[in-house]
Amino acid sequence: MKQFQYVKASSNAAVISAISKPGTKIIAGGTNLVDLMKRGVTAPDRLVDITHLPMKEISETMGNVMTMSIGALALNSVVAEHPRVKEMFPLLSMALHAGASPQLRNMATVGGNMMQRTRCTYFYDTAMPCNKREPGTGCGALGGINRMHAIFGTSEKCIAVHPSDMCVALAALDAKVEVSGPKGTRYIMFTDFHRLPGLTPQFDNTVASNELITRVIIPTNNFAKHSYYLKVRDRQSYAFALVSVAAALDIEGGVIKDARLAMGGVAHKPWRLFDAEKALIGKKPTEENFAHAARVAMQGAKAYKYNAFKLKLAPATITEALKQASGLA
Ligand code: SF4
């Protein structure tokens, strides 16, 4: 591993100043970054440790809309087990429990989970071409073993998927991300935080290199009673999603008043299913209506040599997640 400088930042302002220098990266739980450094995928000159900064708080705020604020340094395990998170946003708790392993959840932070990089095997293998790791070298996965790869929003430069479960739930829950930088504080809708690969797959998200994620804010909703996170994977734990679905329904008088749906394991970002949500509103929570919404969700999907199974697995997972969320299953 390349030698690097290690500094502990004393404040958010000190972090923002430090990361403005090229070659500097933030480290918190380190559950992805250290792997990337060991394998030579990334080689920063300097790491800024932020673990001791006061950004672990989970709190509720009153205003026009009641919200929950989750500090960027809150641990995944703490968020997953927080009584108010479980009560208000069971979808988030379920998604966090579906991710990684207990040991990793005890180290990984909310901000780090958002910033984790794809697990495309070609990205990690420095002997292989990869436009994300080294722009302009090509994409090893396009003509390679692409079983885990995307079926939505791909480009000729990259077909990788975002690996997070937590982010799929946060995209479904209309969360927004607070970031601080030299120009002050700004907010990014969670669905706009991660990006599609396009011609520049080296960029995973829309946060600038001199900005620090400080917290995630989730507005309260009426989905707590009917939420479900369903993850389909090769083994029952410590595996990334082949397909996952975050489903949340607001059902009143036997009719779906509102719906939220997002998928993981299918795109370069958590894939929110806006059209399928619309298709559910005003309908009865039946298997037929769920299957119809799943068909709507699959419009525009495109498979590659080894991941065509996702074209059947994804709608089946959407239908099943909706059945579980509604209590039909
Ligand atoms: Fe690299 Fe993306 Fe291609 Fe994987 S899919 S090899 S991350 S460019």
Q: Is 113 inside any structural domain? A: no
Do the domain assignments include residue 274? yes
Residue 309 Cα, ligand 1 centroid: separation in angstroms?
A: 20
**Contact predicate 164/117, CB 8 Å:** no
pLDDT band at 63 (very low <50, low <70, confident <90, very high): confident
Which long-range contacts link 186-191 to residues 24+ away (Cβ below 8 Å)? 187/217, 190/216, 190/270, 191/269, 191/270, 191/272
Q: Tokens 């599609």 correspond to what residue?
A: 196
250 pLDDT tier (thresholds 50, 70, 90): very high
Calculate the average pLDDT of the chain: 97
- Report if residue 322 sits inside a domain: yes
Among 14, 34, 51, the domain boundary falls at: 51
Domain that holds residue 277: 227-326
When divided into structural domains, the chain yields a total of: 2
Ligand 1 centroid – CA 161 distance (Å): 9
Q: Which residues line ligand 1 (CB under 6 A)?
A: 118, 120, 122-123, 130-132, 139-141, 158-160, 201
What CATH number does the domain containing 44 carry? 3.30.43.10
Does 203 fall in a domain? no
Look at ligand 1, atom 3, and give the residue with the nearest C-alpha.
Answer: 139
Among 36, 51, 66, residue at a domain's last position: 51
Distance 150 CA to ligand 1 centre (A): 10
d(CA 301, CA 321): 19
Whether residue 314 is contained in a domain is answered as: yes
Q: Is residue 95 one of the residues assigned to a domain?
A: no
Is the pLDDT assigned to residue 305 strictly greater than 90? Answer: yes
In this prediction the pTM is 0.98
Pocket test for ligand 1, best of 118, 128, 196 (most atoms within 8 A of CB): 118
Counting residues of the chain whose pLDDT is more than 90, the rounded percentage is 97
Q: How far is the CA of 188 from the centre of ligand 1 (A)?
A: 25
Residue 163 domain flag: no
